[in-house]
Structure 1
Amino acid sequence: MGRRSAAALVAATLLLGGCGGGGDGEPKAASGSGGKVTVEWWNIGTTEPLKSFLARMATEYQKQHPNVVIKNLPIENEAFKARMTTLNQSGKTPDLFTTWGGGVLKQQVDAGLVKDLSADASSWMGSFTPAALQPYQVDGKTYAIPADIGMVGFWYNKALFAKAGVTEPPATWSAYVDTVKKLKAAGITPIALAGKEKWPGHYYWAYLAMRIGGLAALQQAATDHDFTKPPFVEAGRRLKELADLDPFQKGFLGAAYNTPDGQAALVGNGKAAMELMGQWAPSVENEAGKGLGDDLGFFPFPAVEGGAGKATDAFGGGGGYAIGADAPAEALDFLKFMSEPKNHRDVVASGAVLPVLKGVEDAVKDPNLATVARALSSASGFQLYLDQAYPPAVGQEVNDSVAELIAGKKTPEQVAQAITETAKSE
């Protein structure tokens, strides 16, 4: 998700409900009866402050355009993906919907489900940073408009680190492992992990593969579909060594991400020292738990000694909006409205997203998010989440196999082999 511009995840009831008609979220054809046009908008803005901002955007646009109804449907991340998959299989999409780009967007493009925005949005697309647009470009054309960008890193409790005698965030993997050991020795749970959700665990394996093999290794694997090469196997071995330290909270294999006893709440309530998560982590920690205030800090994923990857290479993504092939013109006009500098500056200042427009960087007020923004602006390279960059089946196998590795049910070699077999069968 990653994730992932806001990564609040789903209760099972939401996965099962809401794929009926009309009022519970099934897209309807845009209606012109009575002069009204309806834009069905599926998004993942289920946590504050993003939820309120998106609702305000819909209200303000409707006031300016009385003939348009923006049907705002916030859906939690995993439920959203499940419902989109079902809808896409029937050859449909909402008029306007969240996308993370990568492999899923390419499949939608290939199926003719989304509009090419290259020409229609050309007059204002130049306002976006190239890095923000990149995930939504397929064969030189742009199929979505970015709304957020960010990176995954470690969010940590400064007070708990100090209690364990850790004076500064670790910059190398060996120092990170030492930090975990010091936290355990101090009686502190080092890491919170939503094992039930699986995608948070893939961050560790992906980052380790990046740090060991460099971005080139991940890019090559996307072409030759071979994940059995040394960087990927070694990433599994390093992750297994970490898991063997028993660094996660009790019951982590059944833990969700944003529930009151889930990953974010454990960090937000001071019951675990850190989590590896995207830029949305502080808002979800505040929503699911109490939040850490000034005790919350951020550090990038450490370098792996001897690895070919750069410590300044970032792993992450963002969120954007694509427009269904049969959507009314008002869908793009609403998207342009949300992307206006004033509106984007407002949502950036709220802490909900990081800037995707040029010249809005100064609106980032939170010091931790400013750290993330600076890391992104100086990143030497960027890799989209693997469960978004690769075709969906490959991304799912990455998540599943890495989860089994962390649970002690697969070896590093078996993980590499399983992902390779899935990739080659696509």
Structure 2
Amino acid sequence: MTAHISRRSLLGLAGMGTGALLLGACGGGESGDPDGPQTINWWHIQNTEPMLPVWAEMAKEYETAHNNVKVEIQPLENEAFKAKLTTATQAGSPPDLFQSWGGGVLQQQVDAGLVKDITKDVEPWVGELLPAALQPYTLDGKIYGIPFDIGMIGFWYNKDHFDKAGITSPPATWAALLDAVGKLKAAGTVPVALAGKDKWPGHYYWAYLAMRIGGLEALKQAAEQKNFDTPDFVAAGERFKELIDLKPFQRGFLGAEYGSPDGQAATMGNGGAAMELMGQWAPAVQASSSTSKKGIGDRLGFFTFPAVDGGKGVGTDAFGGGNGFAVGRNAPASTVDFLRMLLEVGNQRRSAATGAVLPTNKAAADGIKDPNNQVVAASLASATGFQLYLDQAYPPAVGQQINDSVAELVAGTKRPDQIVKDITTVAKSQ
């Protein structure tokens, strides 16, 4: 959670006082002595049920087994986390252990000397993890982070709403999805829940459409050439605008957040919309955000993002990423050992059992109990290609511009051909 879950803007703090307090907590102690008193400052975004208490229990267990170590946890909402981490890293004082999605953001932290190269430290056990999950955290052959979760973005849908609208099977093409939206509206159902205020959920649509229309090669070329002003990216915006023009989203979506009581996840969890495009964490967040704290249960289904007729991409290419942790440059000696404990097969099974995590420890796959997460895992297993979230794969400024530009497209203040020019301008400045 980008999910993920979720994840993305690198904007400034709302209040510098809060940032200053958090900065004071960074850099948890001496890194050299493994037996001396140590404090691990751990920032993560699992700030709600079900993972919040699970992480807390694991930290307590580690403290019990290591009486010289104290784990101080700072759970943060995704956007607050990113803003405060940005302030901390700009000050050169990252937390000891902190949430990371790898890719371009991690690369920038590596270039700034803010995170540790943990390649040798994890060598004895890193082979237990899925190689694909490690890719975003492996830069120039060195490992700078460890993933605890892997997944993909797809459509989560309410089977009852689909039945009521006469939709007999999940849409396999973009045209079929648009047709389904029309049927849902005709049945009196809100077709799609969207957190317009958070921006990053909207970028999923544009990114997936770019993949389906241009193929993974188009995204790779855009990064290499720093150019998004191409027919494929314009077409992605045009296809997305087809959906936007149908007015499929819930009332007040432009001001809606993802995880707030009246936000995107709660709208789905309370049965207020038929679909949301979200990561593997969606069922757990829908449940925790819903009035009942249970979500819609077995009425929830999952389908992969549809193909686009005439597109160069294939429908089996997946878009998404995982959640992981990077180790700050001044982290105490016990930090990587604590990280190792989090990734042990038993603890990965505990995490998977919550339904909020798809484990990266290969031996913990049997801990996936949720039927929908089993579908996600199967979809990932059969994926022909994989693309990391664009606001993590590209440099932070480019990723932020993508989120901002797609939000302008959703709001109707910019056209598809305009947003690709804005993104390209920022890309060329990097």
Q: Shorter-chain TM-score category? A: over 0.9
Map 1:192-341 to 2 at 5 A: 192-289=193-290, 290-341=294-345
Q: How many correspondences in the alignment?
A: 425
Counterpart Cα distance in 1 of 2:171 and 2:69:
52
Whether 1:40 aligns to 2:41 is: yes
Counterpart Cα distance in 2 of 1:39 and 1:226:
41
Whether 1:144 aligns to 2:148 is: no
The letter for the 2-side match of 1:116 is D
Q: Deviations over 1:364-404 (max 9, x none)?
A: 11000100011111111110000000011100110011111
CA distance change for structure 1 residues 172 and 23 in 2, over 3 Å: closer, same or farther? closer
2:19 paired residue number: 19
2:191 paired residue number: 190
CA distance change for structure 1 residues 236 and 60 in 2, over 3 Å: closer, same or farther? same
- Structure 2 regions of 5+ residues with no counterpart? none
Whether 1:128 aligns to 2:129 is: yes
Whether 1:52 aligns to 2:56 is: no
**TM-score normalised to structure 2 length:** 0.95
Which residue of 381, 389, 395 maps to 1:377?
381
Instruction: Please state how far the C-alpha of 1:228 moved relative to its aligned partner.
Output: 1.0
2:358 paired residue number: 354
User: Is the Cα contact below 8 Å between 2:190 and 2:248 reproduced in 1?
Assistant: yes
Counterpart Cα distance in 2 of 1:14 and 1:74:
17
CA distance change for structure 1 residues 122 and 97 in 2, over 3 Å: closer, same or farther? same
The SS at the match of 2:206 is: helix
The SS at the match of 2:167 is: coil
Runs (4+) of structure 1 exceeding 3 A deviation are 5-10, 12-17, 21-32
User: Is the Cα contact below 8 Å between 1:136 and 1:143 reproduced in 2?
Assistant: yes
Whether 1:396 aligns to 2:397 is: no
The letter for the 1-side match of 2:4 is R
User: Is the Cα contact below 8 Å between 2:226 and 2:424 reproduced in 1?
Assistant: yes
Counterpart Cα distance in 2 of 1:274 and 1:118:
41
1:70 paired residue number: 71
CA distance change for structure 1 residues 120 and 259 in 2, over 3 Å: closer, same or farther? same
Counterpart Cα distance in 2 of 1:9 and 1:257:
13
Counterpart Cα distance in 2 of 1:169 and 1:305:
16
**TM-score normalised to structure 1 length:** 0.96
Counterpart Cα distance in 2 of 1:384 and 1:172:
22
The letter for the 2-side match of 1:209 is A
Instruction: Please state how far the C-alpha of 1:346 moved relative to its aligned partner.
Output: 1.5
Q: Deviations over 1:251-300 (max 9, x none)?
A: 11111111111111111111111100111111111111151111111100
Counterpart Cα distance in 2 of 1:212 and 1:89:
37
Q: Deviations over 1:146-184 (max 9, x none)?
A: 111111100110000100010110011110000001001
User: Is the Cα contact below 8 Å between 1:18 and 1:25 reproduced in 2?
Assistant: no
1:176 paired residue number: 177
Counterpart Cα distance in 2 of 1:91 and 1:413:
38
CA RMSD of aligned residues (A): 2.1
The letter for the 2-side match of 1:2 is T
Instruction: Please state how far the C-alpha of 1:6 moved relative to its aligned partner.
Output: 5.3
Counterpart Cα distance in 1 of 2:350 and 2:114:
31
Whether 1:365 aligns to 2:366 is: no
